[in-house]
Structure formats: C-alpha cells, structure tokens
Homo-oligomer: A and B are copies of this chain.
Amino acid sequence: MCFGGLMGGSYVHGYSRRENERLQDQAGTLAELLHRDTWYPPGSRVLEAGCGVGAQTVTLARRSPGARFASVDVAADSLAQARWRARQAELANVEFVQADIFALPFAPESFDHVFVCFVLEHLSQPVRALVSLGRLLRTGGTITAIEGDHGSAFFYPDSRMARRAIQCLIALQRQSGGDALVGRRLYPLLVEAGFDGVRVDPRMVYVDSSRPDLVDGFSRRTFTAMIEGVRQAAIGAGLIDAQSFDAGVRDLYRTTEVDGAFCYTFFKGTGQKLARDDHGAAPVE
C-alpha cells in the first residue's frame, strides 16, 4: 500500500470514460508537481527501477518521447498492469523487464539516466540499491530519486487519533523492512551511495478548500485512502484498536471540510556519477 499504485488511480476495467478522465486529472496535478523538471534528451537510455504498476512510467515516457526507457519491476502482476497502462497511453518508447533491483540484467554503464520513485521506502538496504543502480550508469550520467515521507503529514484540525493512524502505516512499513520516513534522508542516502553534486528539493502538497482538486485527489483519495488501506493489517498486528483507527480516519476526512487544511511533502533528489578520478576535482559548493 503506497503512492506508486494510488497515484495513477486504480487498475479496474470498465471505468466510465468520465471517471477515468477525472482520475487522470487528479494524477496530473501531482505528476506536474513531481515530474515537471524531469526531461531526458532524445536518444538517451533511461532505467526506471521499480516501475510498479507504471503510474510514473506513463508520465516519464510521455514527457521524453525521444528517450528509450527500460522499466523494471520484480512483481509480474504489477508489470502486467504497467504494460496495460503503457498500451492505453500508446507508448512506443518503453520496454518492460521483470527483474530484481539487486540483480538487474544489464551491463555496467549501459544507461545515461536512472529514475527511481517510491521504491527506496520499501528497501531495508536503500544505499546498496543505489550503489547497484550507480554501476549501471555511464560516467556523467544522472540519477533522479523521488520519495514521500509519511511523517511530513500535518493538518488542520490537528488530531492525535489521525496521527496515531498514520503511525500505524509507518510501523507496518518498518516491520516489513522499509522506511516510510525515507524522504527526509534522501540527501544522505544519495551522498552515501557515492553520487556527486547531490541536490534535494522538497515538493509540498498543500491542500485547502480553495484547491478542490487536491482536496479530493490528494487528501481523500490518495493519502487518507492509503491509511484506510492498512486498517486490517494495523489492527491485526495489535498496533491499534478498531475504534481508534476509525476515529483517526474520520479525523483525516475532517481535514477535507471547508475550513480544513492538509500538508504532505515529497522529496526529489538528483545526483551525478563522476569517474573515480573526477572525485578529487569535483566542485565543492
């Protein structure tokens, strides 16, 4: 249960055209926020590591129609959805590959750019993954990493129960070896993995009732839906009782009323692979 799937809308056949367009519009607002400054030149080879159901793939590949994408995921069912999305979007510049991020079937230095989005949060060894990805980059190539941070969420009216419900998702992700607070440490992760010129830029989603598309598309259908999605797991794991969890979710919905507000921050980081000899001569800011 994470942003990767939710942001592209659900994978359900038989949506009405109108519903589909509405979901696309909502995803579009966030895609603009996250991807507006990502563009790859014609002819460049781009590795999308951990494409999931392809929610970001469509945006990426459309924005850089001259680049060739290899979009990789370990899960066959996610890849099937990604392929379906790519067909719907009539993308001709994406190849999908099923593989583990730690054992990718590509030669060293075979990509100009690496893109990784909503993936590090699931990994117990994110630096190891970034180092592996770095090996696939040519010298001078770049990496772009985007992650959320569930601890960045705050809202009005504030609510202890809502914070407890969010904490359940954070705890569950930790139990499964991930880190739902990974966004805030994107900078040290990229630096530790050996990238140069690392720059991290926060992207806050700020929602109040003057922005009704985000009230519905982000506060309700993305963030609160994601929290609701772990109800059974959280209660089953003994992290919270049903009554408290439901009160927390009610309080999250309360923030979508006319006097409410909601804040969440994504982090976008970029870095470059320099040749070993370049390291000593790298510009120091």
Contacts and interface: CB of A to CB of B under 8 A. Distances in A.
Interface of A: 149, 151-152, 154-156, 158, 181, 184-185, 187-188, 191-192, 198-202, 204, 206, 208-210, 258-261, 263, 265, 285
9 contacts: A154-B184, A155-B184, A156-B185, A156-B188, A184-B261, A188-B258, A200-B206, A202-B206, A204-B204
A192 B259 contact: yes
Given A187-B261, A191-B259, A210-B285, 6 more contacts: A155-B184, A156-B185, A188-B260, A188-B261, A200-B261, A204-B265
B208 A200 contact: yes
Contacts of A185: 156, 259, 261
A215 to B, nearest CB: 12
Nearest to A191: B259
Given A187-B209, A187-B210, A210-B285, A202 B263 contact: yes
A39 to B, nearest CB: 23
Contacts of A199: 210
A209 B190 CA distance: 13
A258 to B, nearest CB: 8
Contacts of A152: 154, 263
Q: Which of A181, A208, A209 has the most B CB atoms < 10 Å from its CB?
A: A208
A149 B153 CA distance: 13
A41 B214 CA distance: 34
A209 B187 CA distance: 9
Contact of A154 (B151, B187, B210): B151
A145 to B, nearest CB: 14
Contacts of A151: 154, 158
A187 B208 contact: yes
Contacts of A208: 187-188, 200
Nearest to A163: B151
A211 to B, nearest CB: 9
